Amino acid sequence: MNIEVNNKIFEAKAGETILDVMNRNGIKVPTLCHMKNYFPSGACRMCVVEHENTGRLVTSCSYPVEEGMKVKTHTTRVIEARKMIVELLLSNHPDDCLYCVRNGNCTLQDLAVEHHVTERRVSGVKNNFNKDLSSPSITRDPDKCILCGRCVRVCEEVMGVSAIDYINRGSKTLIGTSFNKGLNTSSCVNCGQCIMVCPTGALSEKCHLNEIQMALNNPSKKVVIQYAPAISVSLAEEFGMEPGRDVNGIMNAALRKIGFDYVFDTSFSADLTIMEESAELIHRITNNGPLPLITSCCPAWVKYAEEFSVDFLPNVSSCKSPQQMLGAIIKSYFAEKIATKPEDIYSVSIMPCTAKKFEAQREDMTHQGITDVDAVMTTRELAQLIRLYGVDMHNIDPEMTDSPHGIRSSAGKLFGGSGGVMEAALRTAYFKLTGKELTEFKIHAVRGLTGRKETQIRIGDLQLGIAVVSGLQNAKILLDEIRDGRNDIHFIEIMACPGGCIAGGGQHIGADESAIMSRLKSLYDIDDRDSIKVSHKNPEVIELYEKFLGEPLGHKSHDLLHTEYKKRDVPL
């Protein structure tokens, strides 16, 4: 069918919305509540256009195309209506943009600029809700919330958690948890996906920068930093470079300039995780389970399991995540090596993730009363720190990481994307079971951003069913199938964030799907380029086992690198 937009004819398919057609043809109208690939909610009315056949203003994000329909997108009436919506949204807004984390990256600010809002024509009573600072990961400021509902929808539809929803009605409406208690006592899994879709500063990560700066300024502390596999391919966007560019060397240099004493790579401990987890997989296969084994790298998934999937807790790998493994090694093996007391080490990590902040403060993530990791910053906070210390990312020479925890295999690097843990684990499990390396390392079936991937793999005379899911709603669907009797799956990778850590809740806000794809591609390129493609060939990992740990699943590993999980009592 054809529809007419601004006097031009465009082709349209039944079932599409006006917005779909406009997007395809480069016609831009502002949207707020709309999210790609979600069912439209029509909550904000920002996207209104004039429906000439009826003379009405309709929301283009939810209005289906009709044969012979004529639409105008920027008539005076439309522009006035949109401007009024912006002005009403601003009328009870706290107006503290200059002190806001999202200053300069805020959809509401952009809309005010776009609609030339230069004076206050409507002034409303300001909200005066309490901030929710209870969560170790997420900070909520309901005063800045414009009630678009995007966070509610991600939490429900992508995460299957529904920790938050609308509370009250009318001018008292706010978004909060059940019983309007703090997020820390709710079912929130700290994934931070709600932050990623929030158009304003109502949601942000709990910031650790002050603590980190204090440690940097403390002469009696050795400040050690590690960064997750996804960081080096995501940071570029924060500095206006092209998405996916690998800035690993530049980042190492920047971290030294800021004052970190040792720069380590979490991909190293991703390799370590693979040594432990593949041993665990083989152990479970040869000892009758429990199977499927489910990965435990993602703390959002782990918390989800402790709340919603308690029946699967025995299946979750006992391995700590790479962040925590490296944290534990830094304060034991490494501390000994540099003859420093673990208390005098301040261990920081950079993660694409807000749930890692929660993970770092879990009680089981300590060893003899000492925390494995002391502070966690997101990719966004790292960018902030780099700016704060005046490091020019465009004019600095790349540097190497430090030994003994700076070398990684490309398998460890793959952890950054959905399917990466699986691919790395299978490469090593194959070697351990057959004594031979895979002839083709790439396992295409588990690559890409798709939320659910499954395949069967042959290792010697073993037939292994594997599944990779991201987005906890997808995990729920898979686990339900297993509850209903499926038994052909032996190993599952679960990541909370859709596409894995490259799309984590601590990443650059405003990245689109193509930017995320570029990050993933960058990881694959590294894997193509690098010479060490399997975790068990990482020389520093081999050395760590020889000099310190002994065997995977051995006594020391058990003590430092493994943990256990328990049911959490929260309102579901």
Partner 1 sequence: MKKGIAEILEARGDAKRDSLIPILQEIQENEGFLSQRAIAEVGRRLGIPTSKIYGVATFYNQFRFEPKGKYHIQVCRGTACHVLGSATVLDKLEKLLKAKAGQTTRDGMFSIEVVACIGACGLAPVININGNFHAKVTEQSLVEIIENLKNKEV
Residues 6+ apart with CB under 8 A from 488: 456, 465
Long-range contacts from 64-68, C-beta under 8 angstroms, 24+ separation:
64/14, 64/15, 64/16, 64/17, 64/18, 65/1, 65/3, 65/12, 65/13, 65/14, 65/16, 65/17, 65/18, 65/20, 65/21, 66/1, 66/3, 67/1, 67/2, 67/3, 68/2, 68/3
Whether omega before 404 lies within 30 degrees of 0, making that bond cis, reads yes
By CB under 6 A, is residue 193 in contact with ligand SF4? yes
CB of 34 to ligand FES, least distance (A): 4
User: Which residue in the block uniquely carries the two structure tokens 């390129």?
Assistant: 525
By CB under 8 A, is residue 479 in contact with partner 1? no
DSSP state of 241: P
Residue 109 or 186 having the CB closest to partner 1: 186
**φ and ψ at residue 161, rounded to 5 degrees:** -105, -45
Residue 150 or 533 having the CB closest to ligand FES: 150
Residue 49 or 475 having the CB closest to ligand FES: 49
Residue 146 or 319 having the CB closest to ligand FES: 146
Task: Select the binding partner of residue 504 from ligand SF4, ligand FES, partner 1, none (C-beta < 5 to 8 A, by kind).
Answer: ligand SF4
On whether the CB atoms of residues 233 and 245 are closer than 8 A, the answer is yes
Stretches 113-121, 348-356, 437-445, 447-455: which one binds ligand SF4 (CB under 6 A)? 348-356
According to DSSP, the residues that pair with 367 across neighbouring strands are 370
CB of 540 to ligand FES, least distance (A): 50
The number of residues that bind ligand SF4 (CB under 6 A) is 28
According to DSSP, the residues that pair with 491 across neighbouring strands are 293, 466
Q: Which of 5, 47, 189, 429 binds ligand SF4 (CB under 6 A)?
A: 189
Residue 166 or 530 having the CB closest to partner 1: 166
Task: Select the binding partner of residue 553 from ligand FES, ligand SF4, partner 1, none (C-beta < 5 to 8 A, by kind).
Answer: none
Task: Select the binding partner of residue 71 from partner 1, ligand SF4, ligand FES, none (C-beta < 5 to 8 A, by kind).
Answer: none
By CB under 6 A, is residue 201 in contact with ligand SF4? no
DSSP state of 311: G
Where do contacts with ligand FES occur on this chain (CB under 6 A)? 31-34, 42-47, 59, 61
Residues for the chain: how many in total? 572
| Cα–Cα distance list, 293 to 411, 430, 448, 465, 493 (Å) | 19, 16, 22, 11, 9
CB of 89 to ligand FES, least distance (A): 12
Residue 22 or 468 having the CB closest to ligand FES: 22
On whether the CB atoms of residues 31 and 22 are closer than 8 A, the answer is no
Site for partner 1 in 553-572 (CB under 8 A): 571-572
CB of 474 to ligand SF4, least distance (A): 12
By CB under 6 A, is residue 504 in contact with ligand SF4? yes
Per-residue interface string for the shown chain with partner 1, residues 177-216, x marking contact by CB under 8 A: xxxx-----xx-----------------------------
- Return the closest-CA partner of residue 358 out of 333, 326, 318, 321: 321
Task: Select the binding partner of residue 501 from partner 1, ligand SF4, ligand FES, none (C-beta < 5 to 8 A, by kind).
Answer: ligand SF4
Residue 63 tokens read as 């209005």
Stretches 91-99, 150-158, 281-289, 383-391: which one binds ligand SF4 (CB under 6 A)? 150-158
3-class DSSP state of 458: strand
Neighbours of 284 (CB within 10 A): 18
Residue 245 tokens read as 């560019």
User: Which residue in the block uniquely carries the two structure tokens 């904000």?
Assistant: 44
Residue with nearest beta carbon to ligand SF4: 504
On whether the CB atoms of residues 378 and 195 are closer than 8 A, the answer is no
Q: Which of 33, 138, 478, 523 binds ligand SF4 (CB under 6 A)?
A: 138
Q: Which of 60, 73, 190, 379 binds ligand SF4 (CB under 6 A)?
A: 190
* CA dist., res. 508 & res. 491, Å (int): 31
CB of 218 to ligand FES, least distance (A): 48
Per-residue interface string for the shown chain with ligand SF4, residues 481-500, x marking contact by CB under 6 A: --------------xxx--x
- Return the closest-CA partner of residue 273 out of 458, 526, 544, 505: 544
Task: Select the binding partner of residue 180 from partner 1, ligand FES, ligand SF4, none (C-beta < 5 to 8 A, by kind).
Answer: partner 1
DSSP state of 316: B
CB of 496 to ligand SF4, least distance (A): 4
Q: What is the residue type of 131?
A: K
Helices (H) and strands (E) counted in the chain, each on its own, are: 19, 19
**Would you tell me which residues interact with ligand SF4 (CB under 6 A)?**
138, 151, 154-155, 159, 161, 163-164, 188-194, 298, 300, 352-353, 355-356, 495-497, 500-501, 504-505
**Would you tell me which residues interact with partner 1 (CB under 8 A)?**
156, 162-169, 177-180, 186-187, 571-572
